Structures are given as structure tokens and as C-alpha cells.
Chains A and B, each alone.
Chain A
Amino acid sequence: MTSVTDRGIYLDATGEFVDAYIVPYADAWDRAGAIPEDLLDRLSGAGLWAPFLPVTVGGQGLDMIGFGTLHEEIGRGCSSVRSLLTVHSMVAWAVQRFGDDAQRERWLPPLAAGRTLGAFCLSEPAAGSDTSAIATRAVPHGSGWRLTGVKKWITNGQRADLFLVFARLGAGTVAFLVPRGTVGVGVRPIDDMLGTRASMLAEVTFDDVELKSDALLGPSAFASGMVLTGVLDLGRYSVASGSIGIIRACLEASAAYTEQRTVGGRPLRELPLIQAKISDMVTDLRAGRLLLADAGRLKDAGDSATLMATWIAKYFTSTAAARHAAEAVQIHGANGCSPQYPVARYYRDAKVMEIIEGSTEVQRTMIAAEAYRGRVR
């Protein structure tokens, strides 16, 4: 961004974009189980795929606080669309942070423009939060490697052009950039999930895939885990932002419904128990934004404290989103269980937020460990 004004215009325009092109169609995409190509093109036109990338490679140069605001906006409209942006952002960020000059030159411009869509390949049939259980393996082959394994629950795996794949190499875990068209790469769609149903999940197989030396992203050995740590941190930040968007969507839907719906001749909004639910949504929306802004400010400052701040923001916002989405359905009664209102989608999507990019249980373990750090010898 060249100025504060440009930044404000860009973020305002994103809100208008969400209202015009996402909110009216999100329920239909949810039922269809896919995001249409024309929306993907519109995201490219609006510069929304990886806006934190520098202007020199086609990005917007957006700071991380702005990035969080942007993903809140997208998340209030459709968590599936936000999920596509999340994994794409993770790939783009990893190339920017850990890529060499050739990798940056090759991949950043098309990632910024949305001509190349990225997907993040970590989870496997037997390895989710436990990344040490990854079974996908790379073995040296000539000047490169051969890659074999199965990745599961890969967001946008059905459509992505470039996979960021984490694999065991010796005793460490390393990251590879694998184009979709590489011989030995297979994609099998996964449909009919509980939530984020339009995020085009897939199982991606790597069958003795031959990779050249330019496929390795970032350091190997001791520091290779930093790629995964850094990428997951950004993903967590995006999911926290999207969770705030869900809370906001629940609040807006519930406020509108309780103004119009009457019981005993009085609007629902006059009932104290309804007011209690609404007040909790308002409060958690503000609290979530403050936690996220703290994590974003620390990211923009390059401060390592952002890692724990992001864990905390994601834990708070994802659990709050699940809680408030359940209350939004409760407020809407039978209507809330029907496809006529979006709150059922929010409810299903919010549950997913408690699982992805570090489950609630893993986050609580990490956050609790912070309290005991000073006691470690």
C-alpha cells in the first residue's frame, strides 16, 4: 500500500466485494460443494489472493493487521472462500519468506495474481495435529529427490496448481513445492464434509514423484521445522480472522432476526435471554478483534511474541465462533436448522475452525505450556 488512504480504500472495497459477490451466493456454493471459477477470477481481479506480497511482484503490500481485517470480511461472507485464501496465503508467504531468488521469481508473480493457486499439504490419513507422525517421505535421487506419500483433507486440493508438501527427509521434516502436473501426482476429491463444504477438499497422492533440486523450499536439517511453524502461524492467524467473521455474521443475522420475529406479540429482541446471547456475541466480537490486532501488530513488528499471541487469538476466536454459531441457530429456532437462513452454515463451518490449523486441544496444550516456561530447567 502506498498510503493509509489506499489501504482504507482497499479494505472498504473488500467489504463491498463480499456483499456483492460472496454473501448472496455462499449458501448455494455450500450446497454445490464448490466455489465457481468466476468467483476465483473476481478474487484475482480484486487483488485478494496474497495481498501481503510486495507491490513489486504484484501484491498489495498490505500489512498483517490489514490482512486480518480482510480475512474477517471474507470470513463473514463464506468460510469456504476464506479457506481457499488461507491455504493460498500460506504457500505464498512460505515462498516469500523461505524461497531463494529463483523460486521467488518463478512463483510469486503468479501467486500474487491468482494465476497459480496454492494448497498446503500437511495432514495425512494417520497424521493430523501430530506432525511427527508424517509418513510421506523424500529420498535423495540424483541432484533432487523422489517423493512418496498420501496427503488428506487438502483444502483446494481439487483446484490448486501448486502444492506445498511436507515430508520426512532423514530425521527432519522438509517442504517441497510440487506443481500439480508433475508426473506421479494424483488428486481425488473429498466431498460431503460437515463444514466449509465448498472448499474443494482432496486427497493428494505422490507416487514416486521425481523432484529436481529447485523443489526444496527453505532450509533442511535443524531449521526445516521453521517453515512449517511459520506457515501454520500465518494459517492460524487467517483462521482466527475468519472466525471473527463468523461471529460477526452470527451477530448480524441474529440481530436482524430478533428484530423481525415476534413471540406473544413482542419482538424476540425484547426478551432478556435473547439479549444475553446478543450481548455475548458483541463482547466476544470485540475481544476477538483485540486479540487478533495484538497478534497482527506483533507480526508487523517482526516480534516473535506473535507466535503465542496468534495461538491465543485462534483459540479464543474459534471456540467463540462455535459457541455463538450454536446460539445463532438456537435463536432462529427451526428456521435456523433450515436452508432458508445462513446460520446453519455458520454452525457447521464454525465447528471446522476448532479443528484446523491446530485443534483446540493442541492450542490449550501450547498456551498452558507458556505458563510453565519459566519453570523449565
Chain B
Amino acid sequence: MEIRQRVLGFITARFPLAELTGSEDIFSLGFVNSLFAMELVMFVEKEFGITVPNEALRIDNFRTADSIAALVQRQLSVTA
């Protein structure tokens, strides 16, 4: 399964009624708080075996499933 789909799977598993596309701003849906932000980062790190450095913990990297997937790809290429 591609990265974007796995990210969407995680989000919709937490919020089954959230209808989300890869390019949709997850912050606009109103359920993102610091707890979910932490869960999201932990998921990304565990699922894809990467560490997200402080400088990458920016809102633009987590705004959509597409941007999260791009972040994962960049970090995977760094560690490859």
C-alpha cells in the first residue's frame, strides 16, 4: 500500500466518519489537537521506520496526507 493510503488509513481509523482525501487539510476538520498531533508523528515514525527531526515538525509537513507522504519519502531517502 502506498504511503499516502497508509496515512489516510491511520487517520480514518481514529476518526471513522472523517471523509478525507489526500489533499484535504486535516486541520480544517476540527479534530486535530496536541494529542492527535503526537499520535500522528508516532504513527509515522513507527510505521515507516523513520525519525522526524525537529526542523521537519512543521505544520506544512502535516497538513495533508499528501504532505505527510512527501515528508516520509524525504526522510526515507535521508536514511537510505
Contacts and interface: CB of A to CB of B under 8 A. Distances in A.
Interface residues on A, range: 20 to 34
Sorted from nearest, which 6 A-B pairs have the closest CB atoms? A223-B57, A225-B34, A222-B59, A304-B42, A304-B39, A219-B57
Contacts, number: 72
Contact of A302 (B16, B31, B46, B54): B46
- Interface residues of A: mostly helix, strand, loop or mixed? helix
9 contacts: A100-B54, A221-B58, A222-B59, A226-B57, A304-B40, A304-B43, A304-B46, A374-B15, A377-B19
A229 B37 contact: yes
B54 A304 contact: no
A226 B38 contact: yes
Contact of A376 (B31, B38, B55, B58): B31
Contacts of B29: 376-377
B42 A303 contact: yes
Contacts of B35: 229, 307, 366
Contacts of B17: 374-377
> Main secondary structure on chain B at its contact with chain A?
helix
B18 interface: yes
Interface string B1-27: 000000000000011111100000000
B58 A222 contact: yes
A228 interface: yes
Contact of A218 (B14, B34, B43, B54): B54
A306 B39 CA distance: 9
Query: Which of A223, A306, A375 has the most chain B CB atoms inside 10 A of its CB?
Result: A223
